[in-house]
Amino acid sequence: MNNRYARLASWVYNLDKPVGRSFGDVEYYRQRLEPCRGPVLEPAVGNGRVFVPLLEAGFAMEGFDASDEMLAYCRDECRRRNLSARLTRQTFADFRYESAFSAIIVPAGSFQLVTDVVVATAVLERFFDHLAPGGKLLLDLDPVSAFLEPAGSVRSWTTPDGDLLTLTEQRVETDCVAQTTLAHLRYDHWRDGRLLASELDLFKLRWWGVGEFSLFLQGAGFVDVVASGNYQHGRRPRNGDDSISFEAYRPA
């Protein structure tokens, strides 16, 4: 049940964050990937919100996700746009490719779904091993402040058929030692006032400090680590930023 993005969760995600919707990240990734001439990998590709625009821009994108439901949305969007997409069902912990990539991107804080430090270390090492010499890693994290604010909300979306989808979020645990939060996410599908289906997701995330994650990258062998705030490359993160982006390289 942890972070699984099943049918209702994926449906809500696709309505809330459709392909092409940008928080400044789509443009940022396109700019930072411009020098790359080889294939680019996006782990946790989701519904293709970032993947598809980059594919349309001419980048040789490949991607994987642990959720079949999310991959289905991504594949459907690629078909609608007549794009050939190389997508597979894999996880952070066991993904494998035979060829190396010129870049790996992890937008939208997806790396924070890996909450165990030992596993996170192994994942970062896998990123390193799958990069060609001189290849770059681009990765976003949410600031610590996003995890410490009070959480609890109810949101809703109307489907094209007029049904109602609701998401009720309740944070049930904040572990300041493990640097994790746990929330209960309940997804409900309603029609004419009747409940058709429900899902409960135990949604766990880990936060990282800026200096901590920079050292974490260096410990995995990455060099030339740059942390930037709010998709302004080279501008040091500061209090109040909505996102923090890291760029690091495998030595040439």
pLDDT in tens, 19-28: 989 999 999 9
Does residue 232 carry a pLDDT above 80? yes
> Which pLDDT band holds residue 62 (cuts at 50, 70, 90)?
very high
Give me the residue label for tokens 């400090």.
209
pTM confidence score: 0.95
All residues at 6 or more sequence positions from 50 whose CB lies less than 8 Å from its CB, including other chains: 25, 26, 29, 42, 105, 107, 108
Determine the pLDDT at residue 150. 75
All residues at 6 or more sequence positions from 63 whose CB lies less than 8 Å from its CB, including other chains: 41, 42, 43, 45, 48, 51, 74, 85, 86, 87, 88
Do residues 105 and 36 make contact, with C-beta atoms less than 8 angstroms apart? Answer: no
All residues at 6 or more sequence positions from 223 whose CB lies less than 8 Å from its CB, including other chains: 248, 249, 250, 251
Determine the pLDDT at residue 1. 52
The rounded radius of gyration (Å) of the Cα atoms in the chain is 18
Instruction: Give 85-144 pLDDT, tens digit per residue.
Output: 999 999 999 999 999 999 999 999 999 999 999 999 999 999 999 999 999 999 999 999
